[in-house]
Structure 1
Amino acid sequence: MQESNWFFELLGNTFVRGLLLGLLAALVVGLRGYLRGRELKHELRKLREHLHTKLEIDSEENERRKQELLTIKQERDNLRNSVQLLQQKPGRHEIRQYYVYQKAVDIMFEKAPGFAPAWQITVKEAEAEMERAERGLIPFIKRMVPSSPARQIEEYEKLRKKEIEQHGNA
């Protein structure tokens, strides 16, 4: 009984009581802190998994958008090239007009005996004029500003008369 007396006597001491109550409070606070830490670690792991999933989804979406952007850029470049090619190709009307002129030239070769040499000289002069026109600024402006059909006919008649005079004098 002495031993238990000793225990009760120790518990009767106010310092020991305060110490035990402090240790008990520290144990409760420590236990709650430990449990809260576990809970926070679990929540942190869950948030990391969520963030990882979100980043994967965003990454896939960004890759899809990049791929779509590349596809659209490639389509744009293809369309730009197609437009350039189509601008360089003559239309049906121009091709038909070319064939009409070619047929008219062939008929003139057959019907007018002096037409062939005059035509060839005229073609050479026209080619030389086009070469000169392709080199300078003023001819460039002339090409950009189309002349009227009446003015073109007048120029053609002047060139034709000049050639006839040159052939007549030669």
Structure 2
Amino acid sequence: MLEVLSAPFTWGLLIGLGLVIFVWRSAGKDKKFLKTELERVKEENSELQGHLNTQLKINAKGNELLQNQLDDLKEQNETLRVNLSAIQQKPGKVEQRRLEVMETAVSVMREQAPGFAPAWEKAMREAEDEYVAAEGGLKKLMRKVVPGFRSTPDTGTKQIEGGDTGVVSDKS
């Protein structure tokens, strides 16, 4: 037996079997580790899918609510647009609008008296543009709150002919 154990082939065989056993045990440990890691990853994946499904449901409800609100607002907008159009078509509204435009134009003409005809046309166009711009916003609110309010130019800085206003004239 001693002769067999002292042969180089036996030593190579024993070393080779030792390496095989070591690799086999290491592979078994790795396999067991990978199996537990796979189970952990599957569990984590299912948990993440659950969170994702919950998040998607929450987002879907929120989007649905926002869409419903948007539809309601679009409907209200359309109703308001139709009502505004109907109100603007009432008798007298066109004449009132034209009167306000002409009054604004006359106020501008007080400042631009030389060359009355071209200045009148220019003032009418400016007044028309100003009225269109004033259809919304602060000027419209001011007209509703204070009926006498018009966006007329300020003539208080100029000296009125024949009167002493106490204000220094712009003209030299």
Question: Shorter chain as normaliser: what TM range?
Answer: 0.3 to 0.5
Whichever structure has more helix as a proportion of its residues is 1
Larger RCO, structure (CA 8 Å, separation 6 or more): 1
